[in-house]
Amino acid sequence: MDIEEFNKKYAGKCSASIGKGGLTFVKVQNDAATAEICLMGAHVTSYIPKGQPDVLWMSSEAVYKEGTPLRGGVPVCWPWFSKNTAFPDGPTHGVARNLVWDVKDVSCDGSAATTVTLSLSAVPGYEQFWKYAFALEFKVTVASSLTMALKTTNLGKEPFVITEALHTYFNVGDITKVAVEGFDGLPFLNKVGTPANSVRKGTIFIDQEVDEVYQNASGKAVIKDASLGRSITVDKRGSNSSVVWNPWIAKSQRMADFPNDGYKTMLCVETAHANEDARTVAPGESLEMVCIITSKQD
């Protein structure tokens, strides 16, 4: 449906408008929070609980152009995370974040919870990378917490294997004053330099480039941000892996869509099916991965 039709149908629940680069954004505002979702990539670009700064970080150098992934917010990485070894020339982090999704439904639960349901069922232009019949559904519930549920359904006659992630960029006041808890004792792949397996000991503090893929990570993580005086809890269901990432100085300078000093105010803690946590989806079956983000002022 076009924007006028959308706004008429969902009046009082949310609105749609053309934003940067001619992209369409759905805007949600209720008694608990506001949020914005770009239909290209089903990309959540903002989540602001009442009385707080934005929980999500968007790059000031992000490129707003159809077919070009946005930097920041919550990219939907699907049907592979990072590189696809079978198609090394394919887009990094899959094809879903490059495509325009459809709005399937918008619903409200009282005055403080709004759910936007988006769908995707084809990969035009990327058929050589993904030949399977599928349906994707992404439910974004904007309330006192931000809940994102990504469901993959296999519509074909043969199983397929996916890796995926909700590659969440969190807005922090000062990365040197951030502590991340919830990964103590867990094995992880350290992807900085020569990849190596290790085990996390204690709290994560960021004082250099970090790119760590955790396994056996099915529980909560907590980002304690002393500078902004808040704690962000990242809970999840249906995921057994997480990624913690900050590019630090040198990599920030190498990325064209990332400000040179952007590493100072962002941190990714990603809900994933990554590496050893790859999942097989049988014909006719569905797989759901859920991320619940709650931010509280200290």
Q: What is the pLDDT of residues 223-262, one digit of tens each?
A: 999 999 999 999 999 999 999 999 999 999 999 999 999 9
Q: Which two tokens stand for residue 2?
A: 């076009």
Q: What is the mean pLDDT of residues 105-132?
A: 96
Residue 155 tokens, joined: 């519509």
Question: What's the average model confidence in pLDDT over 261-273?
Answer: 98
The answer to whether the CB of 159 falls within 8 A of the CB of 280 is yes
**Could you tell me the pTM of the whole model?**
0.97
Residue 78 has pLDDT above 90, yes or no: yes
Span 196-209, average pLDDT? 97
pLDDT at 60 over 90: yes
Q: Is the Cβ–Cβ distance between 120 and 61 less than 8 Å?
A: no
Q: Which of 36, 137, 164, 270 is catalytic?
A: 270
Active site residue 288: no
State the pLDDT at residue 4.
Answer: 95
Q: Higher-confidence residue: 211 or 195?
A: 211
pLDDT, residue 1, reads: 75
Domain hosting residue 137, numbered range:
3-297
CATH number at residue 23: 2.70.98.10
Range 88-112 burial, b when 16+ CB lie within 10 A, else e: eebbebbbbbbbbbebeebebeeee
Q: What is the pLDDT of residue 132?
A: 97
> What pLDDT is attached to residue 89?
86
d(CA 217, CA 213): 10
Q: How confident is the model at residue 86 (pLDDT cuts 50, 70, 90)?
A: confident
**Average pLDDT score over residue span 107-116:** 97
Domain count, the chain: 1
Condensed to tens digits (0 to 9), the pLDDT of residues 134-183 reads 999 999 999 999 999 999 999 999 999 999 999 999 999 999 999 999 99
125: left (phi over 0), alpha (psi -120 to 50) or beta: left
Tell me what pLDDT residue 245 has.
Answer: 98
How far apart (Å, rounded) are the C-alpha atoms in residues 5 and 283?
Answer: 36
- For the chain, give the percent of residues with pLDDT over 90: 96
User: In the predicted model, what is the mean pLDDT of residues 75-91?
Assistant: 92
From CA 30, how far away is CA 46, in angstroms rounded?
14
When pLDDT is averaged across residues 90-101 and rounded to a whole number, the result is 96
Annotated catalytic, 137?
A: no
The SS3 call for residue 252 is helix
- Among the listed residues 137, 167, 212, 273, the single catalytic one is 167
